[in-house]
């Protein structure tokens, strides 16, 4: 804690605004300095090619201890390759990686002891029982978690004696998360962890992840669910064509996407526009018939309502519109992020992204 990007700082948008563009990827200051210690995950100028295909062009980011860091991007953007390099599964062509100060290529055993990984498209033997699988993976680690507790937290207790092949997609996914956490890792890397889960199971998983973070675990989350990134992530890196397009808090990215939020209302009485334009949160005030549309940033709605209230005006028929990460992605890359879901989502990215 106490380093840039730590949980406290990570939630303060102003401290982290990055000027990322296609030509100059947003790179954390720390990463450009080279590899500094203190961060849980340090990726610096990572590059990985498969033949002539450039999977990861130039990716840098730094994840502070205790942070939930999201990696977002469309299919083939290089997300999976980035995390596979980060955990030592693949050898980068260029760049440096440190996990808790360790080089995963040089010290794979030590890295694997403290980093739990949930890979997408990774199944298990059909005729092993849930309990047998967890007990086996538990035996791999020096300081394993309590299997019963872990199963309880993931809603797998009733499935302990079931064969893997009898599990639903959601149950398999939860077992996969359990395997990533069974070694009580300091860093958990979760690739598309809620893909294939129904909305309720997804929310349960989010609760679990927040619980894991409260125990001080740093989490790197690869996802294409906006809601997931907005709910869980302290910061998000948008990756496109093997580069970091932008990196910020989810709210910060969303604000930048359309120049902020809008508040639309019907004033109970005429008022001087300067009442609102003087507010630091407000960037623009427009009138459309009787309606007033205010564009701005930060706690815009509160500021507008309080200010109107002080002048004895009620904002009727109030509508709030805040842009989200999805808008941010479209704005920053020129295409929707959602194509991934339309093309079948997880499992297709595999080795080539």
Q: Does 103 bind another protein (CB under 8 A)?
A: no
- Smallest distance, Å, CB 175 to another protein? 11
Q: Does 63 bind another protein (CB under 8 A)?
A: no
Q: Where are the alpha helices (DSSP H) in the chain?
A: 7-10, 29-32, 79-86, 108-114, 130-138, 147-153, 169-181, 199-214, 226-232, 250-257, 274-277, 300-310, 325-333, 339-342
Among the residue ranges 32-40, 56-64, 73-81, 107-115, the one whose residues contact another protein (CB under 8 A): 107-115
Q: Which two tokens mark 284?
A: 């623009």
Site residue total, another protein (CB under 8 A): 28
Distances from the Cα of 21 to the Cα of 25, 26, 245, angstroms: 5, 7, 6
Residue 140's CB is within 10 A of a number of other CB atoms, namely 12
279 with 249: CB under 8 angstroms?
no
Please identify which residue in 135, 162, 227, 338 interacts with another protein, judged by CB under 8 A: 135
Place of tokens 């879901």: 341
Q: Does 179 bind another protein (CB under 8 A)?
A: yes
Q: Does 124 bind another protein (CB under 8 A)?
A: yes
Among the residue ranges 25-33, 69-77, 105-113, 240-248, the one whose residues contact another protein (CB under 8 A): 105-113
User: Is 96 strand, coil or helix?
Assistant: strand
Q: Does 123 bind another protein (CB under 8 A)?
A: yes
Among the residue ranges 30-38, 60-68, 138-146, 325-333, the one whose residues contact another protein (CB under 8 A): 138-146
Please identify which residue in 14, 24, 139, 310 interacts with another protein, judged by CB under 8 A: 139
Write the binding mask 183 to 222 for another protein: x where contact by CB under 8 A, - elsewhere.
x---------------------------------------
Q: Which residues contact 307 (CB under 8 A, 6 or more apart)?
A: 275, 276, 279
Q: Does 306 bind another protein (CB under 8 A)?
A: no
Q: Does 130 bind another protein (CB under 8 A)?
A: no
Please identify which residue in 42, 45, 75, 137 interacts with another protein, judged by CB under 8 A: 137
Strands 187-191 and 115-118: parallel
Among the residue ranges 47-55, 117-125, 233-241, 298-306, the one whose residues contact another protein (CB under 8 A): 117-125
267 with 292: CB under 8 angstroms?
yes
Please identify which residue in 29, 140, 158, 277 interacts with another protein, judged by CB under 8 A: 140
Q: Does 251 bind another protein (CB under 8 A)?
A: no
Please identify which residue in 47, 131, 141, 324 interacts with another protein, judged by CB under 8 A: 141
Please identify which residue in 132, 162, 227, 338 interacts with another protein, judged by CB under 8 A: 132
Residue 109's CB is within 10 A of a number of other CB atoms, namely 7
| Neighbouring-strand partners of residue 44 | 96
Query: In this complex, which beta carbon is closest to another protein, that of residue 127 or of residue 335?
Result: 127
What is the C-alpha to C-alpha distance for residues 33 and 2, in angstroms, rounded to an integer?
Answer: 18
Q: Does 87 bind another protein (CB under 8 A)?
A: yes
Query: In this complex, which beta carbon is closest to another protein, that of residue 128 or of residue 305?
Result: 128
Q: Does 89 bind another protein (CB under 8 A)?
A: yes
Query: In this complex, which beta carbon is closest to another protein, that of residue 70 or of residue 116?
Result: 116
Question: For the chain, percent helix, then strand, then coil, each to nearest 5?
Answer: 35, 25, 40
97 with 85: CB under 8 angstroms?
yes
What is the C-alpha to C-alpha distance for residues 279 and 308, in angstroms, rounded to an integer?
Answer: 11
Please identify which residue in 43, 64, 71, 117 interacts with another protein, judged by CB under 8 A: 117
What is the C-alpha to C-alpha distance for residues 333 and 206, in angstroms, rounded to an integer?
Answer: 27
- Give the interface with another protein as residue ranges (CB under 8 A): 87, 89, 109, 112-113, 115-117, 119, 121-125, 127-128, 132-133, 135-137, 139-142, 179, 183, 351
């Amino acid at each position: 804690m106490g380093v840039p990007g730590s949980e406290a700082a990570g939630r303060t948008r102003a401290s982290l605004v990055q000027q990322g563009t296609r030509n100059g990827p947003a790179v954390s200051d720390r990463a450009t300095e080279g590899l500094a210690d203190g961060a849980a995950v340090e990726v610096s100028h990572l590059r990985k090619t498969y033949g002539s295909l450039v999977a990861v062009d130039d990716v840098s980011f730094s994840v502070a201890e205790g942070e939930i860091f999201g990696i977002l991007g469309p299919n083939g953007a290089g997300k999976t390759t980035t995390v596979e390099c980060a955990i030592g599964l693949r050898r980068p062509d260029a760049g440096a990686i440190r996990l808790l100060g360790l080089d995963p290529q040089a010290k794979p055993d030590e890295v694997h002891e403290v980093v739990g990984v949930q890979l997408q498209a990774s199944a298990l033997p059909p005729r092993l029982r849930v309990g047998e699988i967890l007990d086996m993976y538990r035996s791999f680690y020096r300081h394993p978690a309590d299997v019963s507790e872990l199963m309880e937290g993931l809603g797998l207790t009733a499935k302990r004696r079931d064969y893997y092949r009898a599990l639903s997609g959601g149950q398999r996914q939860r077992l996969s998360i359990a395997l990533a956490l069974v070694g009580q890792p300091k860093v958990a890397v979760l690739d598309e962890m809620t893909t294939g889960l129904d909305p309720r199971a997804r929310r349960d998983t989010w609760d679990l992840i927040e619980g894991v973070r409260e125990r001080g675990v740093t989490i790197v989350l690869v996802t294409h669910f906006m809601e997931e990134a907005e709910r869980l992530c302290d910061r998000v890196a948008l990756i496109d064509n093997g580069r970091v397009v932008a990196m910020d808090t989810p709210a910060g990215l969303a604000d930048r996407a359309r120049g902020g939020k809008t508040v639309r209302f019907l004033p109970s009485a005429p008022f001087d526009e300067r009442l609102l334009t003087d507010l630091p949160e407000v960037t623009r005030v427009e009138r459309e018939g009787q309606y007033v549309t205010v564009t701005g940033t930060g706690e815009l709605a509160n500021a507008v309502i309080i200010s109107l209230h002080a002048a004895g005006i009620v904002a009727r028929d109030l509508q709030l519109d805040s842009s989200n990460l999805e808008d941010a992605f479209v704005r920053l890359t020129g295409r929707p992020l959602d194509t991934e879901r339309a093309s079948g989502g997880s499992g297709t990215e595999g080795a080539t992204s």
